[in-house]
Amino acid sequence: MKMMKKKKKKKKKKQEEEEEEEKKKKKEKKTKKKKKEEEEEEDEKEKEKKEKEKKEKEKEKEKEKEKEKKKKKEKEKEKEKEKEEEDEEEEEEEEKKKKEKEKKKTKKDKEKKTKKKKKKKKKKKKKEKEKKKRRRKRRSKKEKFLIE
């Protein structure tokens, strides 16, 4: 009887130990599972964070690109404006030169005309003088002839 009790006790103890072992295993398994899930969750969070950062960087890059584009456009606009001003100045210079040339030409023509007029007048005067001289000569001849 005692032996039976002992055996029973031993059996009970063994069973309890096994149950304990099983409980321990279950707990361990549960803990492992939980740990794994937490790691996966952490990984997921990390992944999302990286994705977010990537998107942010992309956005920043795009912004920078847009800024650069705007800057380039502005520069081109400035260049165009400068060119226009330069062309305008050139045009004004050309106009000025043209006017100056025209003025000089007009002055030259006027001088030429005046010179021509003076020459004509001189010629006329000379002719007149010659005429008078011939007349006098003729008269003189006539008078001489008459006197003789």
Q: Where are the domains of the chain?
A: 38-116
Would you say the pTM of this structure is higher than 0.85?
Answer: no
At 23 the pLDDT is 93
Nearest to 110 by CA among 102, 122, 98: 102
| Local confidence pLDDT in tens for the 148 residues of the chain | 667 777 777 788 888 889 999 999 999 999 999 999 999 999 999 999 999 999 999 999 999 999 999 999 999 999 999 999 999 999 999 999 999 999 999 999 999 999 999 999 999 999 999 999 888 888 887 777 777 6
At 117 the pLDDT is 93
What is the spatial distance between Cα 32 and Cα 132, in angstroms, rounded to a whole number?
A: 147
The CB density around residue 54, as the number of other CB atoms within 10 Å, is 10
